[in-house]
Copies of this chain bind each other. A is one copy, B any other.
Amino acid sequence: MGRPRKALLDRTRIGRTALELIDETGDFTVPEVARRLGVQTASVYHHVDGRAGVIELVRDRVAEGLDAHTLDQRPWGAALEEWARSYRAAFAAHPRAIPMLTTSPVRAPRVLQQYERVAALLLDTGFAREVVMPIITGLDNIVLGSALDMSAPEEMWVVGEGVDAPRLALAQSATGADRSGQAFELALSGFLARCQELLEDGGPVGPAAHG
């Protein structure tokens, strides 16, 4: 963006430091970032546009883990599926950043470029333009919900004394390895099949028939 090389390096360090603080404490402040970098708070503000600017640098750091090449695959479903897996892994490494990143508008250029590619993929495939953002958002929801779950304990429901939950205990004892991965596959495969229906119908989003 025409900034000198040193400034770019500093922006990377600011994002990385804020992400470290979020990983450790769930949040950050600009003065804390400055302190950890050994600079004045004003120096940080010299490089970024306020707290929102730092959040975008954090988003950029987390999104570094996404493999955009997955979006070169065809058909569209294979591309979205592999992109979603890569996206889940990147965010699972930073679960405490998820609420901050999902409640603040996306402005980071690198991240916008990936969404641009997803939007282009869906439009070129023939999806109606009004369903593109609902599809992207639905995929986001599944990925981020699952990324949070990846840092959950494998035994998520602990039925203690005084609680009568025999069916839950039975279901838990029958569950195979990687509950979180199985759940993600189920949600993702159902989602992609529903999108395929939307593509064939060409219609708006509505509830599907089910049992």
Contact = CB atoms under 8 A, between A and B. Distances in A.
Interface of A: 1, 25-27, 75-77, 81, 95-96, 98-99, 102-107, 109, 112-113, 115-116, 119-120, 122-123, 125, 129-138, 140-146, 148-149, 151-153, 155-160, 162-168, 170-172, 174-176, 179-180, 182-196, 198-199, 204-211
A159 B108 CA distance: 9
Given A141-B187, A171-B129, A211 B75 contact: yes
B109 A176 contact: no
A157 B196 contact: no
Given A119-B170, A138-B187, 9 more contacts: A105-B152, A112-B157, A113-B165, A133-B171, A142-B145, A186-B191, A186-B195, A190-B191, A199-B211
Contact of A156 (B105, B148, B164, B187): B105
Q: Count identical subunits in the complex.
A: 2
23 contacts: A1-B162, A102-B151, A102-B152, A105-B153, A105-B157, A106-B156, A107-B160, A112-B163, A116-B168, A119-B168, A130-B175, A133-B183, A134-B182, A137-B156, A141-B142, A141-B146, A142-B142, A145-B148, A185-B207, A186-B195, A188-B207, A193-B210, A196-B211
Contact of A137 (B26, B180, B194): B180
A188 B112 CA distance: 26
A119 to B, nearest CB: 4
